[in-house]
Structure 1
Amino acid sequence: MAALATTIRVAVIGAGAMGSGIAHVAARAGHVVYLYDMNADAVARGKAGIEKDLRFLVGKGKLAEADCMDTLERVRATSRIEDLADAGLLVEAIVENLEIKQQLFAQLEVMTAPEAILATNTSSLSITAMASTLKRPQRLAGLHFFNPAPRMALVEIVSGLATDPAVATTLYDTAKAWGKVPVRASSTPGFIVNRVARPYYAEALRILAERAATPATLDAILRESCNFPMGPFELMDLIGHDVNYAVTRSVFEAYFGDKRFTPSLIQQELVLAGRLGRKSGQGFYDYREGADRPQPVVEAACEGADEAVACGELGIAVPLLARLEQAGVKLKRTEGPGELRIGNARLALSDGRTATRRAAEEGTPNLVLFDLARDYASTPRLALSRADQCGDGAWNTVVGTLQRAGLAISRLDDVAGLLALRTVCMLANEAADGVAQGIASAHDIDTAMRYGTNYPEGPLAWADRLGPGFVVRVLGHLREHYGEERYRVSPLLQRHAQAGKPLF
């Protein structure tokens, strides 16, 4: 199958931000587009929004004036559903209500040609259920854009049980022709992105519930150490806690109460209080006029050591050694378990155990653990935790030595797996389960997370850099610590770890 020819007319039902954005994309690609809404004022606002976006591109020199005018000419605003009858692709972008969507598609099926493709932009509702009331359920598929549709590259092509593979292929090729990055998914709760992304919020919320650090500090760690575009708390504030909490609850309920998707009581309290984030003026942060933005907490300057001992291989943290040497710290290299000896302290990458437990088990009280960073050679920030047995002098020496290498040190209370490490491992675990359960291929899952959430790296590729065996060990320690199914290891991840094979 090939992409829909530009002679095929496209109808978009729903003229809100998402619907008008999809209409913008299709019209830019050369299709005549019907932008429909029952509310004539909504249609007018939707087309005005398209014109505003196009004019912005013209002003930036990214679109010629003639192309702007041609695109606007192809957008046909209407509040008469009968005008959509000759469309070959009809995309709904209306309220997230299964019954209302089913009623709409039943109406569209009757008035359009048998070969017309029906598509839904739903982010979480079942494609199978949506198509179940149709006479031609094979003609319906998911075409899930991300907001704002003109700028976000990813489109999830979602097949229900009855979806004709040829229809899914046509939508895939069409999305690609429209300049998007399409991925294929099966109709399961959350599809790819809204399912795999749950740990990004959940682990940060749990660490906050354990009072290990402030939201601003946790956001800064994931943003600066791992290059995520936004920290989880500022991202939830942007999305809206009503929306984010509803998606988490929807996925949790759809998976019959799977503990991995348990909603947060902290977020529930924010929703109940009406603190929905940016749109209400308050969330984790205060956006009201004159409010101060809290800053991440960093350790005060300490005196570091002039020399240290690198005992064994540090794995992904090897660049940290060169960074210390460049800062004037003299390094001696010996055999050992993969750690740094600084004064009378041990510094090691977390393995999912708390520092306190690990210090007790290994008989070394002055233990400090450091968190994951995407690139230890360039990260401006590093999170540390200390064992309860660790003395202040040992801690201060470690902090000061790392500060000499230009690192801002943020301390977390002694939580298992710290923040970045457990978050990345849980994202990889969820992604691996998605592959194992046939939701999507490893390639499509990593592509979806890079382009749908702007993650710096796909979670499966990241797990391969860490080593599947190490990820399994971290998750196993988290499960031991909490005693919960939430941290159970994906069978596929376990299998790859045992075989010594990469996931991606």
Structure 2
Amino acid sequence: MSALDPSVIVGVVGAGAMGAGIAQVAARAGHRVLIQDARAGAADAACGRIRADLDKLAAKGRLSPEDAAAAGGRLVPVEATADLAPAGLVIEAIVEDLDVKRALFGALEAVVAPDAILATNTSSLSITAIAAGAARPERIAGLHFFNPAPIMALVEVISGLATAPEVATRLVETANAWGKAPVRARSTPGFIVNRVARPFYAEGLRLCEEGAADPATLDAVMREAGGFRMGPFELMDLIGHDVNAAVTRSVFDAYFGDPRFRPSLVQQELVAAGWLGRKTQRGFYDYRPGAAAPAARDLPAAPAPRAVGIAGDLGPAAPLADRAAAAGLSVTRGPGDGLIRLDGATLALTDGRSATVRAAETGIADLVLFDLARDFAAAPRLALAKADAAPDTALAVAAGFVQALGKRASALADRPGLAVMRTLAMLANEACEAVLQQVAAPADIDRAMTAGVNYPQGPLAWADAVGAARLLGVLAALQAETGDDRYRPSAHLRRHVAAARPLSV
């Protein structure tokens, strides 16, 4: 099935930032766009803003003046729902209220053609529930753009229980024709992104609650070791804690209190205080004029080790050995359990156990764990945590090794799984649950998380690169040490590890 022809008129209900952004995308794709809003003058104002944005793009050379003028000329403000009758596709971007959306679709059904598609931009409400009162629920689907719609590539195309397959396919092809990156999803709480992304925030908040490190240090570790564009705390400050907490609670409630989605008391306190992030100038960070910029805590400079012994296979951390040799350190290799032996410290990649538990079980008295990095060769920072019984000097020796490789070192309190490894394990696990529950295909989940929230790699492909069996072990260790069912491994993950099949295909 092909995309909607540009001759098909598109209606947009809701002239706020999201509705205006969607209208701009459709107009640039060649459609005549009818914009309607219940607020007097809102549709006219939105058309003016969109035309101004198009002119700015033309001034920057990103769009020709002719194309900007043509797209602006295709925008038509209208006053009433009845004026949307010529539209072959109507996209609503109004308030997130189920009853209000149902009423709107009922009114639209009374005026548009029988074959017109009705789409909702909802980010949280059930498509099935929105369509439940419709005369023709099969033509209603989700078309979830991400803000700002003209810039963000991802569009989630969501099918409710009654959505006709050909309607979803037409929307996928239309989103492609509009230059977007569409993914298919089944209507379940959070769809793809708002569900699979929950551990990114939740594990950051949990680490903060556990006193693993201050937010600035954890953010730096997630950016500089994990490769994420923003750390969880700065991202929540940007989103707004009221918004982020509401989405978390909505997903938690929709999944009947599943502990994987448990809200955070730390974030609840911020909301109660009115510290909502950037928009109130206080959140995890202070944005008031004159406030000090947040800074990660680095371990002090320490001497480089005289010799480095690589015992066995370091797994994804193997580039550290090559980096050490390139830095001029004396490196020897031999058999072993994946350890880096220094004079005064033994380093190991976290396997989900805390350093204290792992030291007790292995008898390594000077054990220091290091966290996962997205790219061990290029990462500018690594996080370290020492066993409780290990001497303080072991952490200094480990820091000297990391610094000799040209990286900054940050100390975390000894918490199971550390930060990047723990977060990746939970992201991959949630993605596995979404595949298991037939919410979306693996490729669509990975595409959604890279195109929608700028993850450095899709969680399933990243899990394959690190090793699904390794992450299964991390989750099992986290569940055993914390006793928290939030870390229970997905049956989908278990099956794929048992069969040695990749998760991302």
Report the TM-score range of the alignment, normalised by the length of the smaller protein: over 0.9
- Partner residue in 2 for 1:328: 328
Supply the distance in 1 between the matched residues of 2:226 and 2:465 (Cα, whole angstroms).
Answer: 13
- Partner residue in 1 for 2:8: 8
- Partner residue in 1 for 2:267: 267
User: 1:304, 1:398 within 8 Å by CA — same for their partners in 2?
Assistant: no
User: Is 2:448 the partner of 1:451?
Assistant: no
- Partner residue in 1 for 2:362: 362
What is the Cα deviation at residue 398 of structure 1?
1.5
User: Is 2:472 the partner of 1:472?
Assistant: yes
- Partner residue in 2 for 1:346: 346
- Partner residue in 1 for 2:304: 304
User: 1:127, 1:142 within 8 Å by CA — same for their partners in 2?
Assistant: yes
What is the Cα deviation at residue 482 of structure 1?
1.1
1:220-299 aligned at under 5 Å gives the runs 220-299=220-299
Q: Which amino acid counterpart does residue 466 of structure 1 have in structure 2? A: V
User: Is 2:380 the partner of 1:372?
Assistant: no
Q: Which amino acid counterpart does residue 313 of structure 1 have in structure 2? A: D
What is the Cα deviation at residue 35 of structure 1?
1.1
User: Is 2:79 the partner of 1:44?
Assistant: no
Supply the distance in 1 between the matched residues of 2:50 and 2:154 (Cα, whole angstroms).
Answer: 19
Query: Which has the larger displacement, 22-31 or 37-46?
Result: 37-46
- Partner residue in 2 for 1:318: 318
1:105-184 aligned at under 5 Å gives the runs 105-184=105-184
Supply the distance in 2 between the matched residues of 1:447 and 1:164 (Cα, whole angstroms).
Answer: 23
What is the Cα deviation at residue 365 of structure 1?
1.4
Q: Which amino acid counterpart does residue 51 of structure 1 have in structure 2? A: R
Off by >3 Å, runs of 4+ in structure 1: none
Q: Which amino acid counterpart does residue 354 of structure 1 have in structure 2? A: S
User: 2:81, 2:107 within 8 Å by CA — same for their partners in 1?
Assistant: no
Q: Which amino acid counterpart does residue 268 of structure 2 have in structure 1? A: Q
User: 1:371, 1:384 within 8 Å by CA — same for their partners in 2?
Assistant: yes
Give structure 2 stretches of 5+ with no counterpart. Answer: none
Cα deviation digits, residues 391-425 of structure 1 (max 9, x gap): 12222112112111111001100010000000001
Secondary structure class of the residue paired with 2:455: coil
What is the Cα deviation at residue 174 of structure 1?
0.3
User: 1:366, 1:390 within 8 Å by CA — same for their partners in 2?
Assistant: yes
Corresponding residue pairs, total? 504
Supply the distance in 2 between the matched residues of 1:425 and 1:445 (Cα, whole angstroms).
Answer: 15
Report the TM-score when normalising by structure 1.
0.99
Give structure 1 stretches of 5+ with no counterpart. Answer: none
User: 1:13, 1:36 within 8 Å by CA — same for their partners in 2?
Assistant: yes
User: Is 2:405 the partner of 1:400?
Assistant: no
Cα deviation digits, residues 225-272 of structure 1 (max 9, x gap): 121111111111111111110000000000000000000011111111
Secondary structure class of the residue paired with 2:41: helix
User: 1:304, 1:396 within 8 Å by CA — same for their partners in 2?
Assistant: no
For residues 29 and 495 of structure 1, do their structure 2 counterparts lie closer, same or farther at Cα, with a shift above 3 Å needed?
Answer: same
User: 2:432, 2:490 within 8 Å by CA — same for their partners in 1?
Assistant: yes
Supply the distance in 2 between the matched residues of 1:385 and 1:55 (Cα, whole angstroms).
Answer: 53
- Partner residue in 1 for 2:71: 71
User: 2:14, 2:94 within 8 Å by CA — same for their partners in 1?
Assistant: yes
User: 1:40, 1:78 within 8 Å by CA — same for their partners in 2?
Assistant: no
Supply the distance in 2 between the matched residues of 1:357 and 1:45 (Cα, whole angstroms).
Answer: 62
Supply the distance in 2 between the matched residues of 1:394 and 1:479 (Cα, whole angstroms).
Answer: 28
Secondary structure class of the residue paired with 2:280: coil
Q: Which amino acid counterpart does residue 306 of structure 2 have in structure 1? A: D
Query: Which has the larger displacement, 234-243 or 194-203?
Result: 234-243
Identity of aligned residues (%): 57
User: 2:425, 2:471 within 8 Å by CA — same for their partners in 1?
Assistant: yes
- Partner residue in 2 for 1:56: 56
- Partner residue in 1 for 2:382: 382
Q: Which amino acid counterpart does residue 426 of structure 1 have in structure 2? A: M
Supply the distance in 2 between the matched residues of 1:395 and 1:80 (Cα, whole angstroms).
Answer: 68
Supply the distance in 2 between the matched residues of 1:273 and 1:10 (Cα, whole angstroms).
Answer: 43
Query: Which has the larger displacement, 400-409 or 176-185?
Result: 400-409
Report the TM-score when normalising by structure 2.
0.99
Supply the distance in 1 between the matched residues of 2:487 and 2:98 (Cα, whole angstroms).
Answer: 32
Secondary structure class of the residue paired with 2:194: helix
Supply the distance in 1 between the matched residues of 2:78 and 2:20 (Cα, whole angstroms).
Answer: 12
What is the Cα deviation at residue 52 of structure 1?
2.8
Supply the distance in 1 between the matched residues of 2:373 and 2:429 (Cα, whole angstroms).
Answer: 18
User: 2:160, 2:186 within 8 Å by CA — same for their partners in 1?
Assistant: yes
What is the Cα deviation at residue 36 of structure 1?
0.9
Q: Which amino acid counterpart does residue 145 of structure 1 have in structure 2? A: F
Secondary structure class of the residue paired with 2:141: strand
User: 1:425, 1:475 within 8 Å by CA — same for their partners in 2?
Assistant: yes
User: 2:386, 2:394 within 8 Å by CA — same for their partners in 1?
Assistant: no
Supply the distance in 2 between the matched residues of 1:441 and 1:238 (Cα, whole angstroms).
Answer: 30
Cα deviation digits, residues 286-305 of structure 1 (max 9, x gap): 11112111100000111231
What is the Cα deviation at residue 43 of structure 1?
1.9
Q: Which amino acid counterpart does residue 290 of structure 1 have in structure 2? A: G
Q: Which amino acid counterpart does residue 344 of structure 1 have in structure 2? A: G
What is the Cα deviation at residue 111 of structure 1?
1.0
Supply the distance in 1 between the matched residues of 2:483 and 2:45 (Cα, whole angstroms).
Answer: 52
Supply the distance in 2 between the matched residues of 1:48 and 1:223 (Cα, whole angstroms).
Answer: 38
What is the Cα deviation at residue 385 of structure 1?
0.4
User: 1:327, 1:404 within 8 Å by CA — same for their partners in 2?
Assistant: yes
Give the CA RMSD over aligned residues: 0.8
Query: Which has the larger displacement, 75-84 or 310-319?
Result: 75-84
User: 2:186, 2:438 within 8 Å by CA — same for their partners in 1?
Assistant: yes
Supply the distance in 2 between the matched residues of 1:233 and 1:371 (Cα, whole angstroms).
Answer: 19
Q: Which amino acid counterpart does residue 358 of structure 2 have in structure 1? A: R
Supply the distance in 2 between the matched residues of 1:49 and 1:360 (Cα, whole angstroms).
Answer: 63
- Partner residue in 2 for 1:201: 201
Supply the distance in 1 between the matched residues of 2:394 and 2:246 (Cα, whole angstroms).
Answer: 45
Supply the distance in 2 between the matched residues of 1:366 and 1:482 (Cα, whole angstroms).
Answer: 23
What is the Cα deviation at residue 42 of structure 1?
2.2
User: 2:464, 2:502 within 8 Å by CA — same for their partners in 1?
Assistant: yes
User: 2:385, 2:395 within 8 Å by CA — same for their partners in 1?
Assistant: no
